[in-house]
Structure 1
Amino acid sequence: MEIYGAYGKYLPEIKNEIMHKISELSHQIEKRDEEKLYEHLSGRVKQEESMIEKCQRKGLDLTPRSALNDCKDAIGIRVVCNFIDDIYKLVGLLKKQDWCDVIEGIDSEKMRTMVHQAGVKMQQGFLWKSQFIFLY
């Protein structure tokens, strides 16, 4: 079964385009501020089997509409930032773009909880995982 239907072949291309656009934003910031916007950028397309399991768990029909509209993670982009301010800067920049809409961000209380629970010390500071949802 192909849960993504005819759209499946385009998902890797869309993921790559989103990652390229985020990378370009970072390069613009580096040229202006001479510092990186993030430490690491990675992405993935959820495997068909995983999406089928997720749709079944949620009681959704096994259709491309369910996989792409009802589930919000067919494509996942992970941005790892060194500092909290970098996360807010990135989300702020994404909100200004005409190619995506940020629909959920991290509020400061959730950020404090994440910092308390999951801070990982690095030589130059802390490593923070940034998670937000945006629509392409």
Structure 2
Amino acid sequence: MEVPDKFNEGVTSWETVIFLYNSALKEVGTKVEILNDEFRHIHKYNPIEYVKSRIKSPESIVKKLKRHGYESTIDNMVKHINDIAGIRVVCSFTSDIYRLAEMIGRQNDLTVVSIKDYIKNPKDSGYKSYHMLVTVPIFLTDGVVDTKVEIQIRTIAMDFWASLEHKIYYKFEGNAPEYISRDLQECAGIVSMLDAKMLSLNEAIIQAKEQQRVKEE
């Protein structure tokens, strides 16, 4: 994201950058809502359970910059921190994740910068989610600013697991006891089995309904 030079002036620059990220969240959030409404209208099915959005706190931004060896400046924040603006889209089934990601990627005014598929390639901790880094143009009176938003798409079960991992990470500052990390990894396997079973069950329900419809005709 490049901020116009007129905004790089003292105290107001932080406020302006946060304004841009908040605007980007609104833009992407609206797009996700419209896609969900369209899907429900056409297919009579709602792929999204709920959506959460957030702006990373100043403390978290500073910690992340320090962790990666950067000075705490607005320029470094904009250039090197990709998840300042984040949207989490939570679905019922894993099949919905890839369907939604494809729909989001087809939006003409969004640019997909990178994709990290932690579902097919989970982290060592067991973390699973589908991450898309996109930029969205924010139209201002003096020009257009392409602003980064990270989109995370995951199932309810994945989101529950990730929420627990996040709490443990911050409680122990990244150094959880071995037995807790081991149990968390075991839970990740259970989550994967649950997602697979629920997807299989949903497909069986759809097939049964179709068979019933054919018989009634």
Q: TM-score, normalised by structure 1?
A: 0.76
Q: Indicate yes or no: 2:84 matched with 1:74.
A: yes
In structure 1, C-alpha distance between the alignment counterparts of 2:34 and 2:129, rounded to whole Å: 18
Unpaired segments ≥5 residues, structure 1: 119-128
Unpaired segments ≥5 residues, structure 2: 1-9, 136-217
- Once the two structures are TM-superposed, the CA of residue 109 in structure 1 deviates from its matched residue by 2.8
Q: TM-score, normalised by structure 2?
A: 0.50
- Once the two structures are TM-superposed, the CA of residue 130 in structure 1 deviates from its matched residue by 4.1
Structure-2 change in CA distance of 1:61 and 1:24 (3 Å): same
The structure having more radius of gyration, on CA atoms, is: 2
Task: Report Cα offsets for 1:98-135 as digits up to 9, x if no partner.
Answer: 2223311426633xx59xx67xxxxxxxxxx7431221
Contact 1:100 1:134 in 2 (8 A): no
**Who is 1:123 aligned against?**
none
Structure-2 change in CA distance of 1:78 and 1:62 (3 Å): same
**Who is 1:106 aligned against?**
117
Larger deviation, residues 40-49 vs 65-74: 65-74
In structure 1, C-alpha distance between the alignment counterparts of 2:110 and 2:89, rounded to whole Å: 16
- Once the two structures are TM-superposed, the CA of residue 90 in structure 1 deviates from its matched residue by 0.6
Percent identity of paired positions between Structure 1 and Structure 2? 23
Please state whether the residue corresponding to 1:59 is helix, strand or coil.
coil
Structure-2 change in CA distance of 1:86 and 1:46 (3 Å): same
In structure 1, C-alpha distance between the alignment counterparts of 2:120 and 2:30, rounded to whole Å: 30
Contact 1:94 1:101 in 2 (8 A): no
Please state whether the residue corresponding to 1:132 is helix, strand or coil.
strand
Structure-2 change in CA distance of 1:107 and 1:53 (3 Å): closer
Choose which of 4, 7, 10 in structure 1 pairs with 2:20. Answer: 10
Please state whether the residue corresponding to 2:18 is helix, strand or coil.
helix
**Who is 1:56 aligned against?**
66
Contact 2:119 2:130 in 1 (8 A): no
Higher fraction of helix: 2
